[in-house]
Structure formats: structure tokens, C-alpha cells
Amino acid sequence: AQSVSQHNHHVILSEAASLELGCNYSYGGTVNLFWYVQYPGQHLQLLLKYFSGDPLVKGIKGFEAEFIKSKFSFNLRKPSVQWSDTAEYFCAGKVGSQGNLIFGKGTKLSVKP
Amino acid sequence: DVKVTQSSRYLVKRTGEKVFLECVQDMDHENMFWYRQDPGLGLRLIYFSYDVKMKEKGDIPEGYSVSREKKERFSLILESASTNQTSMYLCASSSERPGRRVYEQYFGPGTRLTVT
């Protein structure tokens, strides 16, 4: 079955630490992958997306993700987190022909000041 | 900027009531989606629509129905609300037309529904 999985449920970091959140997908064909972020009390917003081309994708707020086809992975990274990065992060992949996305279960990131 | 609005941020209903959640988008998007978001379960797709009067079941359609009479509006209906439908409901929209940030979903602020 098509799925997107996120390895970590809750990650706690101190400010300035580096971040890597794992995401794996399990479907074939054309791969369109997304990372969304939900700050406390706010709506989901897009961080970055991969459709094709350069597997290293840069997004907003200093985030980046690398698509590694051989590992079916699309991990999110940030070299130095800030307290304001505290949020829940969702990885998603497009499936089907009508633009449906499958979402992972989310990773909560808590950054200690 | 794309704007997706939902009729209520918070809603409290009683078991057995019929509940309507409304969603409106202003970007002429073809696709609209309803999800529920529960802690530890992520987002689960309830229904989606890719055109006016068209609807498709998602992963968890039981107990829900939808209506899309106009392109900009997508309604989620709980025919007889139950306590296990207490959740955060998110609406989203997207486009597949070239040059329109294909498949990128834009989300509303959510409606937190409590069924007592």
C-alpha cells in the first residue's frame, strides 16, 4: 500500500542544534513530495516541495530536504534551529491522478531556548 | 495569496446532531479536500472533490458526506454526530493546471469540533 512514514514522533532540541527529520515513502511511479509545517495555533503551510530535477530542495526559513531515490527518503534538515521553529512537521507525497496527498503522522519539534 | 476560509474555528455539538462545516477558497482551484487531524495519527483524508458536483471517498468517509455545488465551496456534513468525530477538521484546495503550483495544497485554519 502507498504510504509515507515519519520516524520520529517528538524531537527535542536546544537552540542552534542541527535538525534532521526522517521521511520515507513507499510507492512507485512519479514522485512528488512535500514538507508542511504547522506552528502552534496556525494553519498548515508549505515548507518545500520536490517534483523533479535537483534532489536538494531549499525551502522557506532556512529549511532544506534531500530526495534520495535509492533510499525512498525525503529528509528535512536545518543546520541551526531556533525557538521559533517549534512546530509540528508533516511529510506528504502525491498519489493518484487527482492530486491527493498522503501525509505522514507528523513529527513534533520542541526547541528549548 | 490563496485564501482558504472555514466557517468556524470552534464548534460544540451534541451527539446525534447534524453538523455542517463550510470551506471556501478564493483561487479558482479545481480540487478541494477535507481531512481530520488527530494527535499521533496525522492528517487523514475524508473526502475530496476535483470538480463541481463531483466527490470521491478518501480513507475514512464513514459517517461523513460532502457537497460541492459551487467551485469555491466545499461542505462537510456529519449526518448524526458522534463523540468519536470529535477532532480538528481541515479543508484544503489545490490546482492541477500548468503554472498554478500544481498539487500544492493550501489549508484553512481548521475547525475544532467537539461532540458531547
CA-based radius of gyration for chain A? 14
Element spanning B111, H or E: strand B111-115
In chain A, the domains with their CATH numbers are: 4-112 (2.60.40.10)
**Residue among A32, A99, A106 minimizing CB distance to B42:** A106
Handedness of CA B109, B101, A62, A33 (dihedral sign): positive
- Give the CA count within 13 Å in the CB-facing half-sphere of A87: 21
Across chain B, mean pLDDT equals: 93
* Portion of chain A with pLDDT greater than 70, in percent: 96
d(CA A86, CA A88): 7
Q: What is the pLDDT of residues A9-60, one digit of tens each?
A: 999 999 999 999 999 998 777 788 999 999 998 999 999 999 888 999 999 9
Taking Cα atoms as reference points, which of B68, B66, B65, B64 lies closest to residue B85? B64
Please give the residue of chain B at the shortest CA–CA distance from A42. B109
CB contact under 8 A, A99 and B90: no
Please give the pLDDT value at position B6: 96
Q: Best mutation site among A57, A103, A107, A108 for testing chain B: the one with the most B CBs within 10 Å? A: A103
If you count them, how many residues does chain B have? 116
Taking Cα atoms as reference points, which of B90, B72, B94 lies closest to residue A38? B90
Report residue A36: phi and psi, to 5°: -115, 155
Domains of chain B by residue range: 4-115
Which positions in chain A touch B35 (Cβ < 8 Å)? 103
Q: How close does chain B come to A49, measured CA to CA in Å?
A: 8
d(CA B27, CA B106): 10
Q: Are A7 and A22 in contact (CB under 8 A)?
A: yes
A52 touches chain B (CB under 8 A): no
Please give the pLDDT value at position A27: 73
Report residue B48: phi and psi, to 5°: -140, 165
DSSP labels, A55-70: SEEE-GGG-EEEEEGG
- The CATH classification of domain B4-115, taken from the options 3.40.50.620, 1.10.287.130, 2.60.40.10, 2.40.10.10: 2.60.40.10
pLDDT tier, A7 (very low <50, low <70, confident <90, very high otherwise): confident
- Residue A79 in grid coordinates: 543546520
Please give the residue of chain B at the shortest CA–CA distance from A103. B43
Q: Best mutation site among B104, B106, B111 for testing chain A: the one with the most A CBs within 10 Å? A: B104
**Residue among A43, A51, A99 minimizing CB distance to B107:** A43
pLDDT tier, B78 (very low <50, low <70, confident <90, very high otherwise): very high
- Give the CA count within 13 Å in the CB-facing half-sphere of A63: 22
Please give the pLDDT value at position B79: 94
Q: How far is CA A76 from the centre of its chain?
A: 5
**Per-residue b/e over A77-103, b at no fewer than 16 CB within 10 Å?**
ebeebeeebbbbbbbbbbbeebbbbbb
Q: Are A21 and A65 in contact (CB under 8 A)?
A: no
- Residue A3 in grid coordinates: 504510504
Count interface pairs A-B at CB distance under 8 A: 51
